[in-house]
Amino acid sequence: MLPKLVPVTDIKRKATEIIAVLQRDQETLVITEHGREAAVLMDVTSYRMQERKLALLEGIIRGQQALAEGRTHSHEEVMARTAKWA
């Protein structure tokens, strides 16, 4: 689904109403200025969820890079390293 485009003048005039809609619907808005995309506005819950997803994806990418570079450990090595944490 494409984000809704909202002119910056609407944000200035109806900020409280727009924030209430964002919180209720959890949709992302693209703010336009002079007819061009200028910024993105989203509710905090969606933003935090997006940040967690991004962090997870970055971790997966780091793991794939480590695997490709041969930076791996056997199960026994991992168990020995983590045993001292218990």
Q: What average pLDDT values come out for the chain (86 residues) when binned by 10 residues? A: 90 96 94 96 96 97 96 93 87
Q: Which CATH class is domain 4-69?
A: alpha beta
Helix (H, G, I), strand (E, B) or coil at 28: coil
- pTM exceeds 0.75 for this model: no
Distance CA 33, CA 54 (A): 28
Distance CA 69, CA 74 (A): 15
Distance CA 36, CA 69 (A): 43
The domain spans of the chain are 4-69
* pLDDT at residue 73, rounded to an integer: 92
* pLDDT at residue 58, rounded to an integer: 98
Amino acid at 74: S
